[in-house]
Structures are given as C-alpha cells and as structure tokens.
Amino acid sequence: MKESWRWYGPLDKILLGEIAQTGATGIVTALHEVPYGEVWQRETIASRKADIEAAGFDWVVVESLPIHERIKRNEGDLSGLFANYRQSMANLAAEGIYTICYNFMPLLDWTRTDLAAPVARGGSCLRFSAPKMAALELFMLGRDAARNDYLPEVITEAERWFQASSDDERAVLMNSVMAGLPGAYERYDADGLKTALKLYEGIDRTALRGHMQRFLEEVVPAAEELGMRFCVHPDDPPRDILGLPRIVSDADDIGWLLEAVDSPANGLTLCAGSLGANPKNDVPAIARRFASRIHFAHLRNVKKDADGSFEEAAHLTGDTDMVDLVAALLQEEQRRRDAGDSAWEIPFRPDHGHELLDDASRNTHPGYPLVGRMRGLAELRGVIAGLSYAGTAAS
C-alpha cells in the first residue's frame, strides 16, 4: 500500500519538508484556490506537481476535483460546467495524474460540531454531537422538520444546550459545522445557510441519485478514454443532515452508484471513518465486497454513541477492526498483482487524527494535524508490516 499524506498546498501550515519526515511518499492534494466550476489549467497543475516532486514525493491522488453545486442540483444548462470538468480531467491526465477522489454531498463536506473535543490521555479530536447538531437545525436555523431526524432525548438535550448557550458558543458551533468545507472559500452564517438550503428544496434522495447518475454518465466515459480512476468518497456523517439527502452512506448506496455506470473507472474511496460512523456498516465486509473497485483508502476510526453522536478515535482503537480492514486491502492488492494489474497498489492516507503535543499551536486545517496523523501513519505502517510478514511466513 502506498503511504500518502493530504496536503493543502500553499494553504497548508504543514510544509512538504515536514511531511517528508513522516515517511509518507505520496501526496494527496488539489488546487484548492481554483473556484468551483473553473478549469484547472495544465500549467498550474504542472507547477504544483513540480513542487511536490522537488520535495521527493509523487502526486498520487487528486482530492478533490470539486463538483459545482449546480451539478448536484441539476440546475440549468450544465454543458459548460461538464465541459470544464472534463477539460480539468484531461489536463490532469496530461501531467500523469490519474486518480480523482470526489464526493457528492450537497452543500457541505464533512460535518462536525466540535473541532477540539478532549480525549482521555490528552489532546483533542473532532466530534459530531447529535444534540448540538439538532440545536443548530431546530433552534438556530428554525428547521422544525428536523424533529423527525433525531431521537426525542436528543431533542431534549438540544433544547437544554441551546437555552444555556451564549451567542459566542452558538457562533463556535456554526463555525465548526462550516470547517469541513475545503479550500479558502467563504463560510455560511445562519442566514446564509438558510438561503443556501432553499436552493435544495424539493430535491429528495431519488432526485439526487438521478443527478449523480447524470454526473457519472458525463465524466466516466472521459475517464475511461484518459485511463483515469474516479473514486467517490462516502458521506460524512453517513446520514441526512439539514434536510439534505445523503446517498453514499452504506453498502446498498455504494452498490447502486457502482452499477449506475458500471465501469472500472467508476470506483470507491474506502473511507473507514465515514462508513464506520453508520452503525449498520461492517467496514471490512464492505471493503471485501467492493474490493476490485477501491482506488484509494482513507484509514481512520470512530467511536459511536447510542444517540447518533461519534468522535474520531485513535486509528487502531475505534469501533472498526482496522487490522481486518487492512488485511482486506492487502488481499486485494495481492489479487491484482497475481492478475498482472500494473495499478495494483492502493494509495492510502492516515485520515484525520488527534491533535497531540504541539499540534494545537500550529493552527492547521481542522482534523489534519502533523503529530496526530504521523502517529496514525506509524500505527498503520506497523499493521501493514505485521500482516505482510505473517503472509510471507505463511506462504
């Protein structure tokens, strides 16, 4: 497996020279400064790639080439946006970059309510609190329909938190929910979020699936011609929020989208944390079921609560059996090698991570600390080495 690291380019507080000291050899990044819908120019791609290679890395995955919200809403004449997207793909392929991770989450990317929840032995983690999210939906946004989305006891706790909270605490909650948006774009306040949500009125799960299928039909044939691999990132959290449908949350969803445009170029980013936050998901089983279509992996872990809350756990100590999951990925790599597949290696990155030691002083992108991810990478490297040795010894 290819050890990789997410880097936010010039926006990142962590330098490539520091990443080199983690032992990772691949970089996962994007042109976060380019507005959604515009073409990624080949010259800009080449320049970013040259910086990465000069530091001793390969640019192994684009994460992500974002999808304009109008495409997700299937709004108006989309021919120009699709043409721009395909041109960006062609420009990436011309520079030797062939794997694109993307998501189809409406409006928001990953969503958390707390960016620095304390962990038992020091440090902090990302957390999704169902009561806080319910408080935002019901009492800050006035979305009364959200009462159908939460347990009664969660709503009771949400109202208690809201009544006790200050304006500053509510602002921190809104900022935390907005923090998952990538790049350097303006975040929403409560009024702005209400306005943005209105644009999705009437778009239910069935409609959004249709919009996603249209997107795939527009780009997967181009990916096939270019020799590229698309890999969808599951929803995070894997549940509807803010009244917005989420359609990549479990094995059934994944099966649907891979069959909607049935091509090896239409694949999966196996995100252990996103899938692991859904209590019904058996993540190693999902990995084995869809192994041949996994083009990229995010390895992290979560610990779930009964009320729908969850938080980022250490990479080896959450609810998902990480050793079994890594074993599934190594088995798939071996199958590809045996079949003579030149693209047998699965790039992975240690996703998220606890803020440890001096991480908090760096003010990095939430969830992407240096020390915490380096700890995760070291633990995963040990698992991979142990499983690989055991396999060699057994043979």
Question: What is the side-by-side strand order in the sheet with 124-128?
Answer: 114-118, 124-128, 310-313, 301-304
Amino acid at 271: C
Structure tokens at 324: 């079994």
Structure tokens at 226: 């270019």
pLDDT at 184: 47
| Strands (E) located in the chain | 2-6, 26-29, 58-63, 99-102, 114-118, 124-128, 229-232, 266-271, 294-299, 301-304, 310-313, 347-350
Per-residue pLDDT in tens (0 to 9) along the chain, 395 residues: 999 999 999 989 999 999 999 999 999 999 999 999 999 999 999 999 999 999 999 999 999 899 999 999 999 999 999 999 999 999 999 999 999 999 999 988 899 999 999 999 999 999 999 999 999 999 999 999 999 999 999 999 999 999 999 999 999 999 999 887 765 456 788 888 899 899 999 999 999 999 999 999 999 999 999 999 999 999 999 999 999 999 999 999 999 999 999 999 999 999 999 999 999 999 999 999 999 999 999 999 999 999 999 999 999 999 999 999 999 999 999 999 999 999 899 999 999 999 999 999 999 999 999 999 999 999 999 999 999 998 765 54
100 in Cβ contact with 226 (< 8 Å) = no
pLDDT at 219: 98
Q: How does pLDDT run across 344-388, given as a tens digit for each residue?
A: 999 999 999 999 999 999 999 999 999 999 999 999 999 999 999
pLDDT at 214: 98
| Strands (E) located in 254-370 | 266-271, 294-299, 301-304, 310-313, 347-350
Structure tokens at 141: 């946004």
pLDDT at 188: 82
What is d(CA 163, CA 169) in angstroms, rounded to the nearest whole number?
11
pLDDT at 99: 98
pLDDT at 395: 46
All domains of the chain in start order, with CATH: 2-109+201-394 (3.20.20.150), 114-198 (no CATH)
What is d(CA 73, CA 263) in angstroms, rounded to the nearest whole number?
24
292 in Cβ contact with 227 (< 8 Å) = no
Q: Which residues are part of the catalytic machinery?
A: 233, 271, 298, 351-352, 368
pLDDT at 393: 55
